[in-house]
Amino acid sequence: MKRYLSNSCRCVILFSLLTLSANAQQQKAWKSLFNGKDMQGWTVVEKIANVHIADSSFVIHMTANTHRHAYIRTNDKYKDFILELDVKKDSLYDSGILLRCVSTPDSLVSLQGYQVKLDPHPERMWNGSVFDDFGDDKNFRYHWFYTIEKDERARAAFKNNQWNHFRIEAIGNNIKVWINGVPITNMLNNKYKEGYIALKLHYLQNKPESEKYSAQFKNIRIIDHDAAKYARTMDIPAKEVF
């Protein structure tokens, strides 16, 4: 006796095959940005940068008696991309992940771009919000593009002293951030269009006891070709910011 698959079974099988194919294509699209062993593909910006590699991670510390941020940045520039990485930091460590940043050596901030904040302030917990240091030596300013003070789900997503998974999409004028799968930021802005990806080492004035705090970054990977094809939807609306 011949057996026939029902239409519903055929649909389930077809959907499963398409899903497997899409997942396989996405896995091929990812490129590693950090080999976990050395600085290949990255450049240290500012000699004061206190960074080393341990346990397949970048480990960064602030440096006492400094008045200028330091960074480690990619050697390549990126326009539209999806970035994923794992982040762990002490509760008092102030850092950020910069997107599309450009060199501004004559400014107090030598790289300027969209900064996905790693927030040290327990009363705020704005991790994953987007920040901007900009201006020149005579007119230096900072500005929050997007904050999450009214989103309790987003504020609770990041866990200090634990590994946290970030997914960041920068596609066109749309910047999206997830932490541990939780939607954090969905913003529209045109200021920065192409540039480096960087990790920030915040300056530290006269508090040497704070040098012990650190942030770690590992499993850094990117999709930079046809990124829009792999973009995810969010359950929070996109907001135009200035």
Instruction: Evaluate if residue 7 carries a pLDDT over 90.
Output: no
Q: First vs last Cα of the chain: how many Å apart?
A: 69
In CATH, what number is assigned to the domain containing residue 136?
Answer: 2.60.120.560
Q: Binning pLDDT at 50, 70 and 90, where does residue 17 land?
A: very low
pLDDT for the residue 201 = 93
Q: Give pLDDT tens digits for 40-88.
A: 999 999 877 899 999 999 999 988 888 888 999 999 999 999 999 999 9
Query: Which residue, among 130, 118, 114, 110, has the nearest Cα to 44 in the 3D structure?
Result: 110
Asked if residue 24 is part of any domain, the answer here is no
Q: Give pLDDT tens digits for 99-121.
A: 999 999 888 789 999 999 999 99
Within 10 angstroms of residue 216's Cβ, the number of other Cβ atoms is 19
Asked if residue 37 is part of any domain, the answer here is yes
Asked if residue 157 is part of any domain, the answer here is yes
Asked if residue 14 is part of any domain, the answer here is no
pLDDT over 70 percentage in the chain: 89
Q: Binning pLDDT at 50, 70 and 90, where does residue 21 land?
A: very low
Tokens of residue 78, six digits: 């990126």
Mean pLDDT of the region 191-195: 98
pLDDT for the residue 86 = 98
Asked if residue 8 is part of any domain, the answer here is no
Q: How many structural domains does the chain have? A: 1
For Cα atoms 203, 133, 114, give the angle at the middle one, nearest 5 degrees.
Answer: 115
Q: Binning pLDDT at 50, 70 and 90, where does residue 23 land?
A: low
Instruction: Evaluate if residue 16 carries a pLDDT over 60.
Output: no
The boundaries of the domain holding residue 175 are 33-240
From residue 212, give the alpha-carbon distance in Å to each of 90, 198, 209: 9, 21, 6
pTM: 0.88
